[in-house]
Amino acid sequence: MADRIRIMLVEDHQVVRQGLVALLSTMDDLEIVGSVGDGLEAVETFRKVEPDVTLIDLQLPKLGGADTIKRIRTEFPQARFIVLTTFDGDEDIYRALQAGARAYLLKGMPLDELLTTIHAVHNGKLHIPSAVAEKLAERLSGQELTPRELSVLERIVAGRANKEISADLSISEATVKTHINSMLGKLGVADRTHAATVAIQRGLVSHR
């Protein structure tokens, strides 16, 4: 069956991974050639099997999904990835597509949509559902936080006070306040509690 689409699965939850393998293995035109649970293993396995399409989660141990995509595509520029995830924060979407993902699907999508996406990506097309495209448009239209603002935001999410953030980053408390005010304006929120909530919802800060 030379015309089968060769699939690799990268998913750290074993039950989900085994379920996808079982489901996709019933399709006559698909062949599972790899099934792994972390990013580093995905890079090694990709080199061995060179699948046509890789289904990958973003939240992976050892090497995150976006970084895994980036690393594989450095060696194999034609590698085609479909992101499967429970996270729909616009920053997650942006990172994955920037790394070279061809499609982005939320877990729980209908089987028909998954199969349609696999065939579309195998044929060289992009597949971004409208709800995901809207999130991406939000991300592209918003002002980007600076690396230092992100560092401050991560510490706010972790519950650190301004004095602690000042010590962590070796900057004055006045500078911390300046970064916070700038960050609040860019995020369109009024206070640090709301900023923390938005940061988690949008995937700006990892909360796993």
Q: Report how far residue 108's alpha carbon sits from residue 114's, in angstroms, rounded to the nearest whole number.
A: 10
**Region 3-9: what's the mean pLDDT?**
94
| Percent of the chain with pLDDT strictly greater than 70 | 91
Q: What is the pLDDT of residue 51?
A: 97
What average pLDDT does the chain have?
A: 87
Q: Report how far residue 94's alpha carbon sits from residue 111's, in angstroms, rounded to the nearest whole number.
A: 24
State yes or no: pLDDT of 2 exceeds 60. no
Q: What is the pLDDT of residue 97?
A: 81
Q: What is the pLDDT of residue 79?
A: 95
**Region 145-154: what's the mean pLDDT?**
90
Q: What is the pLDDT of residue 137?
A: 66
State yes or no: pLDDT of 152 exceeds 80. yes
- Higher pLDDT residue, 40 or 187? 40
Mapping DSSP to helix (H, G, I), strand (E, B) and coil, where does residue 10 land? Answer: strand
Q: Which of 81, 75, 176 is nearest to 121 (CA)?
A: 81
pTM: 0.68
State yes or no: pLDDT of 208 exceeds 60. no
Q: What is the pLDDT of residue 193?
A: 87
| Percent of the chain with pLDDT strictly greater than 90 | 56
- pLDDT band of 10, cuts 50, 70, 90: very high
- Cβ atoms of 191 and 184 within 8 Å: the answer is yes
Region of poorest pLDDT, from 16-30, 118-132, 194-208: 194-208
State yes or no: pLDDT of 42 exceeds 90. yes
**Region 43-70: what's the mean pLDDT?**
94
**Region 113-117: what's the mean pLDDT?**
92
Q: What is the pLDDT of residue 139?
A: 63
Q: Report how far residue 155's alpha carbon sits from residue 162's, in angstroms, rounded to the nearest whole number.
A: 9
Max CA distance (Å), the chain: 66
State yes or no: pLDDT of 1 exceeds 70. no
Set out the domains of the chain in order of their start, with CATH numbers.
5-140 (3.40.50.2300), 147-202 (1.10.10.10)
